[in-house]
Amino acid sequence: MNYEQLKKARVDRGWSQQEAATRLGVSQAYLSLLESGRRRAAPLARRLMQVYDLPPTVLPVQEVRENVTPDFLAHELASLGYPGFAHLHGRARKANPAEFLVTALGQRNLEARVAEGLPWLVLRYRDMPLDWLVREARARTLQNRLGFVVTLGRRAAQRDDLQSLEQTLADSKLEKEDSYCKELSEAERGWLRQHSSEEAKQWHLLSDLKPDALRYVENA
């Protein structure tokens, strides 16, 4: 979140600097420094998100976790508003959606309901830090998995605003065969080579997930 966005969020709410500073629990002088770009907003990002009612895309991207439990991922996705996990409450703090997405795509075995929710995440948070997302995906050789998620979301929602991201990922697409975050037996690989969806084949992935199987995209 840059200083221009910070000031706009306050002005849009009709708050003076003093009123906003009181709500944030900081001095007016400190908020003035934040809004002028002379202090970084990142240390206060979570408080700013809560007080200004901002999306979690304003949170700084932090550490991408290598190995996490299915329960952790389900609760994190629920905290980001995914309707499929609306019954889960109170056990996760919101993270930047880009950070969550890279963490999920890097799992060796991703629970199916979480895997199906990732296209919704891309559609819901189109303002996530895409440069960071693409860079981190490429660094972890996850660009094909991410590209698959983007393609699924774009086709399911019939939206064109993801085409640029899709093309950026296609420019560094890997030729190596991969799965969609799942360890497969040889029998499963053989079956999926014959039955993978068009979208999966486009990204050299073994998966039968199709756009019409995705739920909740109309709510993104």
Query: In this predicted model, what pLDDT tens digit does every residue of 101-158 receive, in sequence order?
Result: 999 999 999 999 999 999 999 999 999 999 999 999 999 999 999 999 999 999 999 9
Looking at the domain assignment, is residue 43 inside a domain?
Answer: yes
pTM over cut 0.85: yes
Q: Render pLDDT for 174-183 as a digit per residue (tens, 0 to 9).
A: 999 999 999 9
Widest CA span in the chain: 65
The verdict on 8 and 100 lying in the same domain is no
Residue type, 104: A
Share of the chain above pLDDT 90, in %: 78
Whether residue 79 is found in the same domain as residue 165? yes
Burial class (CB in 10 A: 0-12, 13-18, 19+), 66: exposed
- Regarding whether 155 and 107 lie in a shared domain, the answer is yes
Q: Which residues contact 151 (CB under 8 A, 6 or more apart)?
A: 166, 199, 202, 203
Assign residue 36 a region (left: φ > 0; alpha: ψ between -120 and 50; beta: otherwise).
alpha
Q: How confident is the model at residue 56 (pLDDT cuts 50, 70, 90)?
A: very high
Which CATH number does the domain housing residue 15 bear? 1.10.260.40
Residue range of the domain that includes 9: 3-54
